[in-house]
Structure 1
């Protein structure tokens, strides 16, 4: 409604407003109840999901660690030094990322141990407000843990592919043979040897050298010529 104009005073329009302390209707009460349940359940759902991820990550780490303990040394000695270093670095980084992911999943699933008092909960805004904060922190921890777990899996996959396709040292026997009457040792791939003849393939020569075994002064295995 509009009040009358008095002694030059400006006119004012008065609009009715709903009272702030009105009694909520049943629909609003139901919405508030469901919202409170959603707030409470969100923390529980996040912690349950993090617990499931933690269990899976712990199983993966146990499997990888057991494999490395029992087969790692024998397997890695089949490669040259550069491949050994690469495999060790990839596997080590994968384990570090996996352990960090596991710790983050643990924190997301169970939270950080702390002393909680009634006054601290009230000062924070109540139980629901505190649950929302804890759910937000747990979700951030779980997202970080997922990224670490993915990084660990990628590093492990790279190490596995390198172990499959990485170059291995040649298993061909290289020998350096000192022959009586020869001014220089003969170095090459040992093709055959018996009591009569020793056959050596020297790199760069088209034909094999056939040396009398009785003329050999010494035969030494070498990695390269």
Structure 2
């Protein structure tokens, strides 16, 4: 390499010190935009489709899925706020500094922006993982559509199972222990939804 080329590279290296913070801020802008869009998209999906899916889950699975979604939303919101902090800095009263003070502030701010971006990306990744975890819980534990388990008390005992058919004359229940059972309405004392038949 020539001496002129070496000098130019040295100049660029010196200028890098002065352009580092604006470059980090530009990078943070991109993260902020991406995280805000992702958080909004996930919030809309959860609000529009989540309730229907979560209503079909057993109580424990519903609590786990809801906890995962709430935690994911908090993480994604935190990541967005950290990215905003990195992109725009913290509000400060006034910057009246000399050259050395400005240099120290710039170095400290660059370190804060780098740290905030690292935490923002971690929050983003963890938030997406938790949303996927909630979806997996919903897919794995959702009952088949159309299954309605009921507990029927008759004058001779209790039958618990899936409600297959109910008309004016009788109720048909598919029980795990007894198979398909047809009960006339005249023998039924009470009928109520069952959370889970053993």
Cα gap change, 1:30 to 1:130, in 2 (>3 Å): farther
| Deviations 1:161-182 (CA, angstroms, capped at 9, x unpaired) | 2222224388144241424xxx
Partner SS for 1:174: strand
Cα gap change, 1:27 to 1:208, in 2 (>3 Å): closer
Question: How do residues 98-109 of structure 1 correspond to structure 2 at under 5 angstroms?
Answer: 98-109=76-87
1:201–1:209 CA contact under 8 A, matched in 2:
yes
2:114 equivalent to 1:136: no
Aligned residue in 1 for 2:24: 46
2:14 equivalent to 1:36: yes
Q: CA deviation at 1:31?
A: 5.7
Question: How do residues 3-18 of structure 1 correspond to structure 2 at under 5 angstroms?
Answer: none
Q: TM-score, normalised by structure 1?
A: 0.70
Cα gap change, 1:208 to 1:36, in 2 (>3 Å): closer
2:94 equivalent to 1:122: no
Structure 1: how far apart are the matches of 2:174 and 2:8? 90
2:181 equivalent to 1:185: no
Aligned length: 191
Q: CA deviation at 1:202?
A: 5.0
* Structure with the higher helix share, 1 or 2: 2
| Deviations 1:35-58 (CA, angstroms, capped at 9, x unpaired) | 331112221211111110110000
Q: CA deviation at 1:34?
A: 2.3
Aligned residue in 2 for 1:64: 42
Cα gap change, 1:74 to 1:139, in 2 (>3 Å): same
Aligned residue in 2 for 1:18: none
Report which stretch shifted further, 81-90 or 105-114: 105-114
Q: CA deviation at 1:91?
A: 0.7
2:192 equivalent to 1:221: yes
Q: Which has the higher contact order (CA 8 A, sep 6+)?
A: 2
Structure 1: how far apart are the matches of 2:64 and 2:81? 26
Structure 2: runs of 5 or more not aligned: none
Question: Once superposed, what is the RMSD of the aligned Cα atoms?
Answer: 3.0
